[in-house]
Amino acid sequence: MFWLHAALIYVSFLSGCRAEENVIQPTEDVMVVEGQPTTLSCLFDTADLSPYLFWYKQQTNSNPIFMLRRDMFSPGETATVFKERFDARLNFTAKSVPLTIQRVQLSDSAVYYCALRPTVTTGYTAPLQK
């Protein structure tokens, strides 16, 4: 067994901070048995009728890396390395976008971030998501 960490990241629109724009990750640490599936929760609150939600993975001593994006009007986008075992379904009514990991592996141990657009940037302000 090992731990996965879910972390909160607050992101506001570039036009300014709006109180109703946020994400909540109620599950902080998850203990998972290797080979089993797990789901990491992400709830969001936005006035935007077509929100974009993102998941990122950050391993120790590394920058967060883009995993996937989900929105209301398209199938979204998933980075190639995550297509096989990682998925998220945007539920606008429940205002959630849980991340499901199939057949959890030791290499999945990391901090997982859920974000509402605009997306995370590095310390050099280069976008991680185009």
Whether 81 maps to a domain, the answer reads yes
Structural domain span for residue 31: 2-116
The answer to whether 11 and 118 are in contact (CB under 8 A) is: yes
Q: How many domains does the chain have?
A: 1
DSSP E strand stretches across the chain: 2-8, 22-24, 29-32, 38-40, 43-45, 52-58, 65-71, 77-78, 86-88, 99-101, 111-116
Q: What is the CATH number of the domain that holds 104?
A: 2.60.40.10
* Buried b / exposed e along 88-97 (16+ C-beta atoms within 10 A): bebeeeebbb
Whether 106 maps to a domain, the answer reads yes
For residue range 13-45, what is the model confidence (pLDDT) as tens digits?
Answer: 223 334 568 888 887 788 888 999 999 999 999
Whether 121 maps to a domain, the answer reads no
Whether 75 maps to a domain, the answer reads yes
* pTM flag (> 0.95): no
Q: Which amino acid is at 4?
A: L
For residue range 72-85, what is the model confidence (pLDDT) as tens digits?
Answer: 888 899 999 999 99
